[in-house]
Structure 1
Amino acid sequence: MDISKYIDYTLLSPTTTERNIIDLCHEAKKNKFYAVCVSSSYVALAKQLLEQTSIKVCSVIGFPLGSTATPSKVYEANQAISDGADEIDMVINLGFLKSKNYVSVLKDISDVKFAIGETPLKVIIEVSELNKNEIIKACEISLDAKVDYIKTSSGFSKGGATLTVVKIIKKTVKDSIKICASGGIDDIETVQKYIDIGVSRVCVSSDFNKKKQSI
């Protein structure tokens, strides 16, 4: 199986340089990955570098904590799209979720989804910070908000995707929302395991590409 079409090639370090983004996009083109995922300040550069390719540019919003005010998330998402983003990855407000303020969680997601229209929206639920019931509730709210993907992790918390968590998400959303496995995935064998249980996308970093080249 060609796993390249599943890969979001990701670089979100706060010390990322323009040279790093150039290298990221070059490697994405070389490997024919599905998308690159970059901070909003680098969307325009990535879009320029990936002209005349089918590779998508994803931008993260409210990243990495998710506690940004909803109007700020909306503005950031719209600006990223204006700069060329093809997809938006937003972090949910975990504090609202843990407060059981589900109306505000839904509004936060729905306002961004409404603002960006047909642009695909991935909702990052940060599974390592949630118990099973909270993961299920985040998925149910995402269903109500009609998002396109649930993404497991920002990569900035204490843990990322696990096969068990992805199975819980899949059981909850079935085929209504796609799943993007993210966090700690850095080899082909692990990517394949996630694909086998039904994920549509997998976020990996440059460490993955180094291992891929050595195999």
Structure 2
Amino acid sequence: MDKQDLINIIDYTFLKPTASKEDITTFCNETIEHGFKTVFVNPYYVSYAHSLLSPHNIKVGVPIGFSLGGATTHTKVEETKESIRNGAEEIDMLINLGALKSKEFDVVRNDISEVVKASEGLLVKVIIETALLTKEEKITAANLIVEAGADFVKTATGFNGGGATASDVQLLRSVVGKGFGVKAAGGVRNYEDALTIVKAGANRIGASGAIAIISGETSNASY
């Protein structure tokens, strides 16, 4: 995979809770300079990032239920709708980990399904925090995501310990099959990591250290 192919599948992210408007401006300018196709910012900055990036045909994505996933379905749905009104074009939602751990699978499935409906056809990726789950729970989560009508299963936020591993990506790919999306995020820090993750089955990568990755350097970012 060459540099441009990698750029095309990286979601460049800036989700620091302390991010200022000036930080977002710099981030968006970097996005334009390096040619990333999609960025992710916190809901508060979706409208501003969209105003800077839409003239360059760069999509703004938003994390929903970030960063713990424990919000109610109603809250996630309303957050999704507002973000779309503000210009969001991709949705990365967190799964309800508590409900998953409680084996309340109908709750988990419905939570995802309602956000999918609210997204009105936009791409929906569902974050499962692989580092917090058993193998059985990862498999169950991936199956529920497929059943709920989402488009991707995503490994992690990078904010709750652990992140993408080749073995987790391979497992998720084996569960969802070839036609479904697998996004690897959290801990992809350099070009070699990215190639390994893609070889394992990821077709999208999320990284705040995206510039370092494509430049052949190593990022110290955890998400």
User: For the superposition of Structure 1 and Structure 2, which TM-score range results when normalised by the shorter chain?
Assistant: over 0.9
2:203 maps to which of 200, 204, 210: 200
The aligned counterpart of 1:209 is 211
1:47, distance to aligned residue in structure 2 (A): 0.4
The aligned counterpart of 2:36 is 33
CA RMSD of aligned residues (A): 1.2
- State the one-letter code of the partner of 1:88: I
Task: Give the Cα separation in 2 of the matches to 1:32 and 1:79.
Answer: 27
- State the one-letter code of the partner of 1:81: I
Aligned CA distance change for structure 1 residues 211 and 169 (closer, same or farther; 3 Å): closer
Aligned CA distance change for structure 1 residues 214 and 163 (closer, same or farther; 3 Å): closer
Indicate yes or no: 2:47 matched with 1:44: yes
The aligned counterpart of 2:100 is 97
The aligned counterpart of 1:68 is 71
1:182 maps to which of 181, 185, 190: 185
The aligned counterpart of 1:83 is 86
The aligned counterpart of 1:10 is 13
Task: Give the Cα separation in 1 of the matches to 2:28 and 2:117.
Answer: 29
Task: Give the Cα separation in 1 of the matches to 2:180 and 2:150.
Answer: 7
1:72, distance to aligned residue in structure 2 (A): 0.3
Q: Any idea what SS the aligned residue of 1:88 has?
A: strand
1:13, distance to aligned residue in structure 2 (A): 1.0
Q: Any idea what SS the aligned residue of 1:123 has?
A: strand
Q: Deviations over 1:140-177 (max 9, x none)?
A: 00110111111110111110010000000000001242
The aligned counterpart of 2:124 is 121
Aligned CA distance change for structure 1 residues 172 and 53 (closer, same or farther; 3 Å): same
Deviant stretches of 4+, over 2 Å: 210-215
Q: Deviations over 1:119-159 (max 9, x none)?
A: 11010011010010000000000110111111110111110
Contact 2:10 2:210 in 1 (8 A): no
Task: Give the Cα separation in 2 of the matches to 1:192 and 1:34.
Answer: 18
Task: Give the Cα separation in 1 of the matches to 2:216 and 2:106.
Answer: 48
Task: Give the Cα separation in 2 of the matches to 1:186 and 1:55.
Answer: 23
Percent identical: 37
Contact 1:180 1:199 in 2 (8 A): yes
Unaligned runs of at least 5 residues, structure 2? 218-223
Task: Give the Cα separation in 2 of the matches to 1:148 and 1:58.
Answer: 14
Give the number of aligned pairs: 214
- State the one-letter code of the partner of 1:185: V
Task: Give the Cα separation in 2 of the matches to 1:177 and 1:213.
Answer: 29
The aligned counterpart of 2:111 is 108
Contact 2:39 2:60 in 1 (8 A): yes
Task: Give the Cα separation in 2 of the matches to 1:200 and 1:84.
Answer: 24
The aligned counterpart of 2:136 is 133
Indicate yes or no: 2:177 matched with 1:162: no
Task: Give the Cα separation in 2 of the matches to 1:191 and 1:53.
Answer: 25
Task: Give the Cα separation in 2 of the matches to 1:117 and 1:51.
Answer: 19
Task: Give the Cα separation in 2 of the matches to 1:171 and 1:19.
Answer: 42
The aligned counterpart of 2:22 is 19
TM-score (norm 1): 0.96
Q: Any idea what SS the aligned residue of 2:103 has?
A: coil
Task: Give the Cα separation in 2 of the matches to 1:161 and 1:150.
Answer: 12
1:102, distance to aligned residue in structure 2 (A): 0.1
